[in-house]
Chain A
Amino acid sequence: MMRADANGGWFQEKILLGLTPRDYLRTLLTPMNGVAFFICAIGVPLLLYRFYAGLGATTNLTQSQPWGVWIGFDMMTGIALAAGGFTIGAAVEIFGLKEFHPIERPAILTGFLGYIMAVIGLIADLGKPWNMVQIFAQNGTRSVLFEVAWCVVCYTCVLSLEFAVPFFEWLGVKRIYQPLRKALLALTVLSVMFSSMHQSALGSLFIIAPGKLHPLWWSPWIFAFFFMTAIIAGISMVIVESTISHKVFAHQLEGQHHDADALTLGLGKAGAVVLFAYFFLKLQGVIDAHAWGYIGQGFLGVWWLVEMLGFVLLPSMLFAWGARNRRVGAVRVAGAIAVLGIILNRVNVSMVAWDWQNPDHYVPSWIELWVSLTLVTLGVLAFRWIVNRMPVLREPADLAAGHH
């Protein structure tokens, strides 16, 4: 690929999608962009205000609820929903399920952006984020959070190397993207390794606090639950994401021969199995913790049933029914319910069922919610910006020319 030598030519081609600055700005004037701008115009200053004013002025965190939305949603949920990157990566590169190849890159991009957003949320939440470097200086090896921190660092590096392939294909730097493409198998092995540790360690964080997390959610096996739900999240997110992508980015997918419906049905089959296994593992956890008596008792006992029946068993059945009867629509709905279920689970563990005996329970401040909403919006905007420019959904130029 040649760099345009005309003044501003490269910029116009790569950044402005070949439009003149004036035309490009005009394409940005859409209602959705207006909403996104509104969210960010308030959210970004709020994020900066948090560093000036402190956590007390911006959040509703308390001494008994030290982790709120920025950890419970941005970190816990963001990382879980980013699991598609390693799940689909492993399916394609290691298990040789090549039919999933068309969704590998969007899944990795989602993972990459999910991790970046989670790290920004984490920086907002930490009291003294500049001391994060202490992770490298102090060997806090007895801490689960030490493991989590190292996994975040290592897996973000792996994800950026994986993302570097489409990035440098976009810039046309063959010297970098060709060796990285060859390294994809090794990077995938590393991504599975770091993810399985990271996803489960996020659950292990709660093992040390048995009295504070409701017995229906606390379990010494919570790390296994977190790992399984990460796989569920990975599969479901890919279904949801490819559904949206096919609507929004349809023009990019023209001329590709893969059967999106068959892919979705395949993912649905996998989702049904993992969700069903997870449902029974959770029951096992309840029996193991002697927490059977809490089911249906009080708000949390009912709420647990809502999570388990409505957001685990129901999507599992719907996945199975849809995959068996080749109803793509049902599989997509099941995927959306499963994604909501994972969000619900992480929010329940870190906030709703946390500090459950305290009648004076944490409710997030509007600033916390707005900053989280801003981070999600920025993630979606970044996804769209990248997909419109880099070969994520469409095939890279050299491969597309060579293959068919």
Chain B
Amino acid sequence: MSMQRRTFLKVAGATGVAAAAGQAGADFGDPAGAGENAVLVDTTLCVGCRGCEAACAEANALPEPPSGDAVLGSLRKTGVSSFTVVNRFEGPGEPRFAKRQCMHCVEPACASACPVRALDKKPNGPVAYHKERCMGCRYCLVACPFEVPKYEYAKAIPTVRKCTFCAARQAEGKAPACTSACPSGALTFGKRGELVLEAKRRVYAQGSKYVPHVYGEHEAGGTNWLYISDVDFSRLDMKVTVADASYPQLVKGALGVPPFVMTLWPPLLMGIYAFSHRRQQVAKHEGRETP
């Protein structure tokens, strides 16, 4: 009960801050997916308690994450039964912690790559997975620039596994399990437009503290999980080579070709046929007359 009240206060507080920030920034124009649900990760506030991992496992019926700090000794990746992991990165000074999970892109490469729409972007933010449609082609694994979707190779009837952004909880008006569980204020759940501004507010208000970059504002065309940090993002094993352009846009040109091929090829080929056919007819005709 007390847990729920605390969650409520946190969400209310975050929304209040975000709403004020949103108003202040109205003149700058809304970023992509401004109205979608998003999370701001302030890595400077994360204490590495891994409460988010436990909450995630509970909410998604996953095996309990390993207890104890020993797991922080090595770099972990998300997996088929761990949708989020917190990694420790040794300093200068204090160690830093960074939580990893699906970035829930505004324009997700995985959802655009899926030929059967088993991965689907919800209007309120989450990239949801429908296992009943999935045929297991694994093109989502190929496409995702953040290497998030994981495949259950060990199973005879496998599915794709990744963070759900607790879409079911969001549908009930609740915040994702991880953000509700975070005790240090490192995770703020809110609207993307407002969180982008909140992130910038923190970065510019304490200019000497943060790296002047909001990771996820433009990466892959914008992600619903945003990160700010006081060390370079490459040191947190964040993918810094990810392009700013939206990944679905990359294939737009190539995908625009089929309609032209389908309408232009047949008449063009028939035209060539008509020429070559006529040439043969003439050759046959002349061949008969000349000798």
Binding site for B on A (CB under 8 A): 51-57, 59, 61, 63-64, 66-67, 90, 93-96, 98, 125-132, 134-135, 137-149, 185, 188-190, 192-193, 196-197, 200-201, 204-212, 220, 223
In the complex, the chain A residue whose C-beta lies closest to that of B141 is: A66
| A–B pairs, 7, beta carbons within 8 Å | A56-B154, A59-B153, A63-B150, A66-B141, A94-B272, A145-B113, A211-B239
Given the complex, which residues of A lie within 8 Å of B258, measured CB to CB?
Answer: 147, 197, 201
Whether A185 contacts B153 by the Cβ 8 Å rule is no
Given contacts A138-B133, A193-B266, A223-B254, contact A66 B276 (CB under 8 A): no
Closest Cβ of chain B to A34, distance in Å, is 34
The answer to whether B241 touches A211 (Cβ under 8 A) is: yes
Given A144-B251, A210-B243; A132-B135 close (CB under 8 Å): yes
Which positions 105-152 of chain B face chain A at CB distance < 8 Å? 109, 111-118, 132-139, 141-143, 145, 147, 150-152
Residue from A52, A54, A127, A148 in contact with B134 in the complex, judged by beta carbons closer than 8 Å: A127
| Contact (Cβ within 8 A) B136 A207 | no
Determine the distance from Cα of A189 to Cα of B265 in the docked complex, in whole angstroms.
8
Does B253 count as interface, using CB distance less than 8 angstroms? yes
Selected interface stretch from B17-25, B27-35, B66-74, B155-163: B155-163
Which DSSP category, helix, strand, loop or mixed, fits chain A's interface? helix
In the complex, how many residues of chain B place their beta carbon closer than 8 angstroms to a beta carbon of chain A? Answer: 59
In the docked arrangement, what's the CA distance between A19 and B7, Å?
A: 83
Q: Does B171 contact A (CB under 8 A)?
A: no
Complex Cα distance, B159 from A68, in Å, reads 18
Nearest chain A residue, comparing its CB with the CB of B150: A63
Instruction: Give the distance in Å from the alpha carbon of A196 to the alpha carbon of B111 in the complex.
Output: 25
Asked if A54 and B155 sit within 8 Å, CB to CB, the answer is yes
CB B110 to nearest CB in A, in angstroms, measures: 9
In the bound complex, residues from chain A placing their C-beta under 8 Å from that of B253 are: 220
Note all chain B residues with C-beta closer than 8 A to A66. 138-139, 141-142, 151
* Residue among A64, A140, A149, A192 with the highest chain B CB neighbour number at 10 A: A140
Q: How far is it, in angstroms, between the C-alpha of A129 and the C-alpha of B157 when the chains are bound?
A: 10
Query: Does B280 belong to the interface (CB within 8 Å)?
Result: yes
Q: Are A144 and B276 in contact (CB-based, < 8 A)?
A: no
Alpha-carbon distance between A281 and B127 when the two chains are bound, in angstroms:
38
Interface residue B205 (Cβ < 8 Å from any Cβ of A): no
Question: B174 to chain A: which residues have CB within 8 Å?
Answer: none
Give me 18 other A-B pairs in contact (C-beta within 8 A), A55-B153, A127-B152 excluded. A52-B156, A54-B153, A54-B158, A61-B153, A66-B141, A95-B272, A96-B279, A125-B137, A127-B137, A128-B135, A130-B135, A189-B270, A193-B261, A197-B262, A200-B254, A204-B251, A210-B243, A212-B142
Is residue B277 contacting chain A, with contact meaning CB distance below 8 A?
yes
Cβ-defined contact, B133 with A134, below 8 A: yes
